[in-house]
Chain A
Amino acid sequence: MMQNNRLPLDNECRIQIGEFCCALRFNADAGYVKSARDYFENFNSEQEPDIEVAVNLMPHKEDVTIPSSLFVNKTIDGNSFDYHNGLLKGMIDPRSKKCTIEVDFVLLGGSARIFEQFLFQLYYTLIAEKYGKQKPVRFLLHSCSVLRAGQGYVFVGPSGSGKSTIAGLSTSFSVLNDEMSLILGENGIFSVQATPFNGFFRQKKNLKGPLKGIYFIKQAKSAYVKKVSMHDYIPALVQEMVPFMGILTAEQDIPRSVMIERALDTLLQVPFYELHFLPDESFWNCIE
């Protein structure tokens, strides 16, 4: 990516998500920009944006409940989209690198984790626009990722399985993220990259490294690593992949077969194990 001659505007927060720079341009109080830059600390970018998102904040309607997922209840009409009956709506044209949204301001405060799901879909939109039918291996995975001695380790598990615990126990190394990692594959070589998501976890390092192993985690009474078969863990990996849904992709059009292909390609190339761990650092000895 070429260095940008235009630095971020005062009302702009540019975020690096994988290989892309996404610019959020707030038509609102300067405090929102500052909060966004702070939330995405270490991932603020000065690169030329791959997409500019004009963010218009809307007052919160008291009778509206903030949902837990932006992957359901979305309507699409041409280039327009609407999540949860106006909670977040707008238009996007990836080709012209423009997007405009109106969003309930609550989504940018305490419910920022929900707003991030819009950014997940924005990322997949940019991937589709850039690569078209090539379908490279690029996917977001609910996981904790750590770089240790230049090698990437990814720890996968559902909510509550201990990803944040592992991240907290690994801060002497480089924790890329405690919740969301980016997995990339090129010609059979896999790597893991940090993502800006879960800004509440402040120890993230914006780094990337070769993927040494994937560990499906379970809290246990002793620490050990177990070799497991693909039969059980393809479904588990697919379960933790962020659905390949762009902003203009309907829920029923999520390419599940492509997700399965990516999971299979990943586990065919990257060693994977089941990691049973205690709430202490001993699991690193097992991994080594």
Chain B
Amino acid sequence: MISLGKYVVRNSDMVWRMVGNEAFIIDKDGTKIHQLNRVGSEIWKISEGNLTIRQIIETICNHFEITAEEAEKDSVQFIENMLTQGLVTLTDTPVPA
């Protein structure tokens, strides 16, 4: 279980675009494409390295008007998935802008 105090930062090698509310993310080789749903896209957008997972959960909870439990479950699962795919990394301290 990942620590909710970790900061989430996008992998800067990825190319991405928002189309409406959905994010399209492509790896640096241009061979793998990820299309995120609305919740995932919002998490992706705000993963700039200045928010902890706990803060991201709170943002998602407010943004989508879902319960805190649902927000935590969805967000943690999604971030773990992104970690596995190399789309994000976790840091102990905020990443400077």
Contacts and interface: CB of A to CB of B under 8 A. Distances in A.
Interface of A: 230-231, 234-235, 238, 256-257, 259-261, 263-265, 268
Nearest to A267: B24
B28 A264 contact: no
Interface string B2-16: 000000000001010
Interface of B: 13, 15, 17, 19, 24, 26, 28-31, 33, 35
Contacts of B35: 230
B33 A230 contact: yes
B30 A265 contact: no
22 contacts: A230-B24, A230-B33, A231-B33, A234-B26, A234-B30, A234-B33, A235-B30, A235-B31, A238-B30, A256-B28, A256-B29, A257-B13, A257-B15, A259-B30, A260-B15, A260-B30, A261-B15, A261-B17, A263-B30, A264-B15, A264-B24, A264-B26
Nearest to B27: A260
A278 to B, nearest CB: 31
A260 B19 contact: no
A268 B26 contact: no
Q: DSSP class of A's interface residues: helix, strand, loop or mixed?
A: helix
Contacts of B17: 261, 264-265, 268
A112 B35 CA distance: 43
A268 B19 contact: yes
A242 to B, nearest CB: 15
A268 to B, nearest CB: 6
B30 A256 contact: yes
Contacts of B29: 256
A83 B31 CA distance: 30
Contacts of B24: 230, 264, 268
A228 to B, nearest CB: 12
B45 to A, nearest CB: 16
Nearest to A239: B30
A75 B15 CA distance: 29
Given A234-B30, A260-B15, A260-B26, 7 more contacts: A230-B35, A231-B33, A235-B31, A261-B15, A265-B17, A268-B17, A268-B24
A66 to B, nearest CB: 30
Contacts of A230: 24, 33, 35
Contacts of B30: 234-235, 238, 256, 259-260, 263
A256 B30 CA distance: 9
Contacts of A238: 30
B28 A257 contact: yes
A261 B28 CA distance: 10
